Amino acid sequence: MSETLLLPLTHAFSKTHFTTPHHLLKTTSARSATRFRHRHKQVPLPLSSGSDYTLSFTLGSPPSPTISLYLDTGSDVVWLPCSPFECILCESKAPPLSPPLNLSASATAVPCKSSACSAAHSSLPSSDLCAMARCPLDAIETSDCNSFPCPPFYYAYGDGSLIARLYKDSLTLPNSLSIQNFTFGCAHTTLAEPVGVAGFGFGRLSLPAQLSSVSPQLGNRFSYCLVSHSFDSDKVRRPSPLILGRNEEKEKQFGNEVVEFVYTDMLHNPKHPYFYSVGLEGISVGKRNIPAPENLKRVDRRGSGGMVVDSGTTFTMLPSNLYDSVVNEFDHRVGRFNERASAVEETTGLGPCYYYDKVAKVPVISLHFVGNGSRVVLPRRNYFYEFLDGGDGIGKKRNVGCLMLMNGGDEEELRGGPGATLGNYQQQGFEVVYDLEKRKIGFARRKCSSLWDSFKN
């Protein structure tokens, strides 16, 4: 029986996610009192492995059952399904990772006068929020609306949306790291979003922002190292490490290996300030460098341009003109020696794809970011997906390889948003560092599963 791949998009700005083995589905506080049992410069946390990398924690006292949410650097709110829960148009989506939450006795509603409420409602003034919460006029005038909860907020991604209410409760991460008065969204109804999201983007409601308000050394810098995509949990022996904080000595030296990070500056996006945008100079295919369009090197005042580094999108999305140039050069080098697998392209939505006998020879692909020498060489498996195709189930199985870069649309379609997105498939095998103080993002090739050994020292 042949292995087929179906494609497209999910999550903010066309986020794409794997949902079943080898199938790509077409769709993408004020300072809180906090106790830490850890006083280290960095704290490692496990991320489950797969096409969507998930972070687990508990809420409340007594603690809730374990909650697992997608780690998403492309959004800035932490939300989860709450009981009773309904997800509209979720038949083709992955099942929930954990049961809908029953709020604990320690959970409290965020009042409409809270700054967190304003943040969830795009910085609306408290008087407007109190009115939305049906606070009486005399109470609004006397600034006495704390007994009225923050109105429900609406949050949209590229392929789904939700309505949620804000609550505060204690959040406990693995390693017993606990944040009191943690603000999160509780959603009873969503559209095409059956699983909650741990937003790690810029924004005061993101998990790093709430952590940094009580422990700057852990919240102002984080990194992750994503082990290879796998759809068989038996093959994944160790989780991907999410590292809160920094330890510069261990960053530079790992065993006998000297680790060198390639850094590029973050770009501010005035329309989407929660994005981690960087400038892309070009893409190399073999020895040929293909310059990126000017809008990928910067972000304009309307929020257009740049490349977003996003853990919550599976595949790298390029604007069609750059995508076509990369594909044409790739096909020029690979298509001369290998038969085009047109039937596979039609059934999967991937392309270009090629049949090959033993080992397919493909050119090296590198990303060139804005900055002196900011070049990241991608491992072959990060852009060339190889599998066995069984044809119609009767004929001989053949080796197939497909380029794993996606067409993100033309310039007009991308106007007002990111020009490109660097997905997690292309981030496999790299430690990706987000330095929020220096506003830089760094990349270094690492053996991700082996990183756990360094935390024991």
Q: What structural domains and CATH numbers belong to the chain?
A: 5-224 (2.40.70.10), 257-455 (2.40.70.10)
**Cα–Cα distance for residue pair 155/142, rounded to 1 Å:** 31
Q: How confident is residue 31, by pLDDT bands cut at 50, 70 and 90?
A: very low
Residue 388 pLDDT greater than 80, yes or no: yes
Buried b (16+ CB within 10 A) or exposed e, 86-104: ebeebeebbebbbebbebb
Pick from 170, 172, 174, 171: nearest CA to 43: 174
| Residue 3 CB partners (closer than 8 Å, separation 6+) | 22, 387, 388, 389, 390
More confident residue, 12 or 45: 45
Residues marked active site are found at 72, 310
Residue 37 pLDDT greater than 90, yes or no: no
**pLDDT at position 401:** 95
Dihedral in degrees, nearest 10, Cα atoms 115, 117, 120, 124: -80
**pLDDT at position 27:** 31
**pLDDT at position 136:** 93
Q: How confident is residue 281, by pLDDT bands cut at 50, 70 and 90?
A: very high
| Chain segment 95-137, per-residue pLDDT in tens | 888 899 999 999 999 999 999 999 999 888 989 999 999 999 9
Residue 219 pLDDT greater than 80, yes or no: yes
Q: Are the C-beta atoms of residues 382 and 428 closer than 8 Å to each other?
A: yes
**Cα–Cα distance for residue pair 219/36, rounded to 1 Å:** 13
- At residue 86, what are phi and psi to the nearest 5 degrees? -130, 130
- Give how far the C-alpha of residue 142 lies from the chain's centroid of Cα atoms, to the nearest Å: 43
**Where are any strands of DSSP class E within 246-335?**
253-254, 257-258, 262-267, 277-278, 280-285, 288-291, 307-309, 316-318
Site of tokens 């999201």: 197
**Where are any strands of DSSP class E within 129-233?**
153-156, 161-173, 177-191, 197-199, 221-225
Cis before 84 (ω within 30): yes
The mean pLDDT of 377-382, rounded to a whole number, is: 95
**pLDDT at position 192:** 94
**pLDDT at position 13:** 38
Residue 85 pLDDT greater than 50, yes or no: yes
**Cα–Cα distance for residue pair 213/302, rounded to 1 Å:** 30
- At residue 208, what are phi and psi to the nearest 5 degrees? -60, -40
Q: How confident is residue 411, by pLDDT bands cut at 50, 70 and 90?
A: confident
More confident residue, 413 or 172: 172
| Chain segment 289-305, per-residue pLDDT in tens | 999 999 999 999 999 99
**Cα–Cα distance for residue pair 189/164, rounded to 1 Å:** 8
**pLDDT at position 457:** 57
**What is the chain's Cα-based Rg?**
23
Answer left, alpha or beta for residue 122, where phi above 0 means left and psi between -120 and 50 means alpha.
Answer: left
3-state SS, residue 139: helix
**pLDDT at position 397:** 87
Residue 35 pLDDT greater than 70, yes or no: no
**pLDDT at position 228:** 79
Q: How confident is residue 433, by pLDDT bands cut at 50, 70 and 90?
A: very high
Residue 41 pLDDT greater than 70, yes or no: yes
Q: How confident is residue 405, by pLDDT bands cut at 50, 70 and 90?
A: very high
Residue 18 pLDDT greater than 60, yes or no: no
The mean pLDDT of 427-436, rounded to a whole number, is: 95
| Residue 39 CB partners (closer than 8 Å, separation 6+) | none
Residue 268 pLDDT greater than 50, yes or no: yes
**pLDDT at position 5:** 35
**Cα–Cα distance for residue pair 114/100, rounded to 1 Å:** 26
**Cα–Cα distance for residue pair 77/404, rounded to 1 Å:** 29
Give the helix/strand (H/E) hosting 103.
none
3-state SS, residue 91: coil
Q: How confident is residue 40, by pLDDT bands cut at 50, 70 and 90?
A: low
**pLDDT at position 3:** 33
| Chain segment 153-184, per-residue pLDDT in tens | 999 988 899 999 999 999 999 877 889 999 99
**Cα–Cα distance for residue pair 116/134, rounded to 1 Å:** 18
The count of other CB atoms within 10 Å of the CB of residue 297 is 20
Percent of the chain with pLDDT over 90: 64
The mean pLDDT of 348-355, rounded to a whole number, is: 92
**pLDDT at position 410:** 87
CA atoms within 13 A on the CB side of 152: 9
**Cα–Cα distance for residue pair 284/377, rounded to 1 Å:** 9
Percent of the chain with pLDDT over 70: 85
Task: Please give the mean pLDDT across all residues of the chain.
Answer: 85
